[in-house]
Structure 1
Amino acid sequence: MESVLKIRRWVLVDGRSIRSVARQTGLLRNTIKKYLKDDSPPSYHRQAPPTRHKLCNGFDARLQTLFEQDQKRPRRERRTAQKLYEQLVSEGYTGSYSPVQRFIRDLKRAGTGSGEAFIPLYFPAGDALQFDWSEERVVLGGVEQKIKLAHFRMCYSRKPFVVAYHGEAQEMVLDAFVQALSFFGGVPRRVIIDNPKTMVTYVSRSKDRIFHPRFLALMNHYVMEPVACTPASGWEKGQVENQVQFLRGRLFVPKPAFDDLDALNDWLFLRCEDLAGRPHPERQDCTIAQMFEDDRAKLRPLGRAFDGYVEKTVRVRSTCLVQYDSNRYSVPSQFAGQHVSLRAYANRIVVVSGQDIIAEHKRHFTRNISYFEPWHYVPLLDRKPGALRNGAPFVGWQLPQAMHRIREHYTNEHNSSSICPFSQPD
């Protein structure tokens, strides 16, 4: 622009000839004449669209077919451009990923039009952690089922952490935060969340929040400020919202298969570490793991872990069972008819009387099933020895040798009138 202004000034103001200006600048006289006629700034106009590598040998049609097939699937099962590229490679495609990515982008734009506009957010190192839930489908023990995935994301470094549960109950929320903070190795200043009932019990018209007391206990333990988003404003925690979609396409399409939930979580832990090796979306010269070192330096020390249980008072039935979440768990027989405290953790059930733990079970997520510890019922055999024959707590129990002799005694119909082996001699 400065050269054009100088040329116009030399000719139109100073009166110099076009030939002398062309000799001094090295420009063609026709070019100088064009500058003199048009006072608008010069610009470059592309004569033809740029030449890019294209899908060939019919792979463009194949890719469009795959894309259209995906559009008929549930949204959570649709493949990403990366997955579609891998499918084409398995079918013989030898090109790069970029043409596939552009092709899929154009197809999406043609179907949806322009998107919404948002204001970019900024978070300093160690400042904020975002949290959200998603629902995914996996195969556990050969059975396809739904699981709930707790998503965490450090806002500055973008480092992710996910852990799977059978549900979104409050004890799962508490356990997820304990595991996430342990994974990150420190505590950020605040956490940005939605408004689920497990964390926020009330939202007023003025957007004031009343947080759940148990969730506040977690926040107080780690001295972390909870920040609840405005309802229906997911962009306020857009990073973790995007993470849900990204990890769904990367990790859960096709459905992964594991023996149990623990094996799935072990795999997710390793994948979170692997994903931290990706380039940072804003600092392409650094990886997420490298940016996380800045985060880690600003995190506060973790301290002891929060005891993440939900407690309720229950009455022990005459069958020595307490109920939680439609299943029943046994306690020692001497507590039958008493009120005890039941503490539900994400993976276990603990029963407390006073200050003493009287029973502990692995938590199950079946329905209407009783889970027994046979030793809880052994004292009752003194008064009801025949229960050893058909008693539900003793089914499949690996009995000590003495118990085997007693069971054989009561399963022998010919000895049904014999003296009780538990009776005391006169």
Structure 2
Amino acid sequence: MIQVHHIKYLREFKGKSLRNIANETGHDFRTVKKYDEMDDFNEYVQRRKRTSKLDPYKPKIDEWLEEDKKVKAKQRHTARRIYKRLCEEYPNFPLSERTVRAYVRKKKKELYSNEGYLPLDHPGGEAQADFGQAEFIEKGKGTTLHYLNLSFPYSNGGYFQLFRGENLECLLEGLKNIFEHIGKVPRRIWFDNLSPVVKKILDGGEREVTEKFYRFCQHYGFEPVFCNPGCGNEKGNVENKVGYNRRNFFVPIPRIENLEDYNKELLILSEKDMERPHYRKEKSIKELFLEEKKKMLLLNEKPLDISRVQKAKTDKYGMLRFENNRYSVSPKHTETEVWLKIGASEIEILDEDYKVLVKHPRLYGHNLQSLNWYPYLETLSRRPRALKYTGFYRELSPIWQEYFESCDYQEKKNSLKLLVKMLRETDMETARYALEISQNSERCTAETIFLSYRRLIQEEPSPFETGNEVPRLQAYTTDFKEYDALVGERK
């Protein structure tokens, strides 16, 4: 830099030519000319281009990561999978997994760059809704259930409810349960673009929602707000709440006997959880939630029926198909149109006059079947030989199975008719107990079972006391004077 200054000094202040300066300083003429024309004296960091042993493999890694953009996130390459593939395709691959991980992390950041998130400040009285999944043991069997989370960003409070699916009926029933529990309704609720709710995303970001959801919003008065597609961060509070609830309430795996009762317990547990302090504000979540409840809407006192009704047609067996599952109706209603009243956990099948024919638990899955055999028993009692080949027979208690095995044709027919009568009036447990009592007698037949059944369900009055419903007769005293007069006249 001193040489440059000297060359410029000779040129500017001494008026020497470039050739003279070159001769005087001993520098090449082109060097002198270069420094004379130099006008930028900023310092620039010279970065060395580092080479890496991974360089020959980077195009292949980039190719795999580019292809990943075309598939769902759950099926994209992890850094470990890329390392294993490199080892498989290049037997003498010389680098460690750590080196590969570092490059994959950097490359993914380039490929999936985002614009960053803005911190949002939600006013009190607003909520966010989303579903989560967790494992449970229901009535002794392991199953995956879905829980609707409704969180309140201002206070960080929240409630959640458990269901077997994420359909519209589950969403609406969960919201309704929470509204009725707290006695208020949030002014605005943020949702994902749930397929049971959003029919179509219109130009300008407007949503065309289903009729049932629209009526629900109008009934309770809240404004639905929908996130931009793929922007779950717009409702980050409930996203965090989904994970928080799973970690704090569903570990270890809960055991459930009755889902409706368990949901009532969850509402109480949610409120108990609000007693902890807010992570940022110097108050408890419960205090903040009570503050924002004042900003919420009053609850509509008229309850809303969240079920929906649609038509279906039965087949020649009196069965119908709904959502890839089959439900029994009745042999009297074969190949006829019926109405389905569909709720989150139950389906009612109605006739054309909207009279309930049969009720079923709503099935979640594929190719499942729900059979209510009671409407079929009358038909079965006329065809007793078919009993052993029905699902109803397999559902019978062993004592009834053994009894039917010992019956001849006519006795089986009579006993089936009796069983139909008992089930219509009481239940299977009473019928089982009646058979048990009858088997203790000398002879067990349909008649003796019926007598045992009548003794079980009827209270006979004591022979020493009149029943309460027996009318009291007025006392009557005979007047013998009339008879004496007649006898006297005859004399």
What SS does structure 2 have at the residue aligned with 1:335? coil
Contact 2:383 2:413 in 1 (8 A): no
| Partner of residue 375, structure 2 | 376
TM-score by length of 2: 0.54
SS in 1 for 2:332: helix
Specify the code of the residue in structure 2 equivalent to 1:343: K
User: Distance between the aligned counterparts of 1:215 and 1:143, measured in 2?
Assistant: 33
Counterpart position of 2:350? 352
Q: What is the match of residue 292 of structure 1?
A: 289
The question of whether the paired residues in 2 share the 8 Å contact of 1:182 and 1:302 is answered with no
Q: Deviations over 1:25-81 (max 9, x none)?
A: xxxxxxxxxxxxxxxxxxxxxxxxxxxxxxxxxxxxxxxxxxxxxxxxx9xxxxxxx
SS at match of 2:294: helix
- Match for residue 316 of structure 2 among 311, 314, 318: 318
Structure whose CA Rg is larger: 2
- 1:252-276 per-position Cα deviation (integer Å, ceiling 9, x unaligned): 4x44231346265355333312211
Alpha-carbon distance in structure 2 between the residues aligned to 1:189 and 1:145: 35
Aligned to 2:408: 412
* CA distance in structure 1 between the aligned counterparts of 2:413 and 2:256, rounded to whole angstroms: 49
C-alpha deviation, 1:188, in angstroms: 1.9
Report the AA paired with residue 357 of structure 1.
V
**Equivalent runs, 1:166-185 vs 2, <5 Å:** 166-185=164-183
Separation (CA, whole Å) in 2 of partners of 1:157 and 1:185? 17
Whole-Å separation in 1 of the counterparts to 2:241 and 2:123? 19
Counterpart for residue 458 of structure 2: none
Secondary structure of the 1:334 match is coil
1:99 is matched with none
> Please, what is the CA RMSD of the aligned residues?
3.6
| 210-219 vs 375-384, which moves further | 375-384
1:296, distance to aligned residue in structure 2 (A): 2.5
Match of 2:81 in 1: none
Give the distance between the partners of 2:364 and 2:151, measured in 1 at CA: 28
Residue matched to 1:279? 277
- Say which structure, 1 or 2, has more relative contact order (CA 8 Å, 6+ apart): 1
2:185 to 180, 184, 187: 187
For structure 2, the 5+ residue unaligned runs are 1-73, 75-108, 418-491
- C-alpha offsets along residues 280-303 of structure 1, whole Å, 9 cap, x if unaligned? 34431x212122222333331232
Identity rate, percent = 23
Counterpart residue identity of residue 391, structure 1: T
Distance change (3 Å), C-alpha of 1:185 and 1:336: same
Name stretches of at least 5 consecutive residues in structure 1 with no aligned partner: 1-73, 75-111
Which of 223, 244, 251 is matched with 1:246 structurally?
244
The structure where helix makes up a greater share of residues is 2
Kindly tell me: are residues 199 and 246 of structure 1, through their superposed partners in 2, closer, same or farther at Cα, counting changes over 3 Å?
same
Aligned pairs for 1:8-157 (under 5 A) are 118-126=117-125, 128-157=126-155
Kindly state the Cα deviation for residue 308 of structure 1 after the two structures are TM-superposed: 1.7
Offset of residue 366 of structure 1? 5.6
Q: 1:419 to 1:239 in 2, by over 3 A?
A: closer
For residue 220 of structure 2, the aligned residue among 214, 219, 222 is: 222
What is the CA distance between 1:389 and its match in structure 2? 4.6
Deviates more, 1:382-391 or 1:141-150: 382-391
CA distance in 1, matches of 2:337, 2:302: 30
Structure 1 Cα separation of the partners of residues 219 and 416 of structure 2:
55
Q: 1:258 aligns with which of 232, 255, 274?
A: 255
Say how many residue pairs are matched: 304
1:117-148 CA distance string (max 9 Å, x none): 5433333333x221011222334445443222
Q: Quick one: structure 1 residues 419 and 137, their matched pair in 2 at CA, closer, same or farther if it must change by over 3 Å?
A: closer
- Rounded Cα–Cα distance in structure 1 between residues aligned with 2:332 and 2:171: 34
Amino acid at match of 2:321: Q
Which residue of the partner structure matches residue 198 of structure 2? 200
| Structure 1 residues 400 and 322, CA gap change in structure 2 (3 angstroms) | farther
Q: Decide whether the 8 Å contact of 2:124 with 2:292 is kept in 1.
A: yes
Deviation at 1:160, TM superposition (A): 0.6
TM-score by length of 1: 0.62
What letter matches 2:255 in structure 1? F
Give 1:361's aligned residue.
360
Check conservation: 2:179, 2:299, Cα contact below 8 A: no
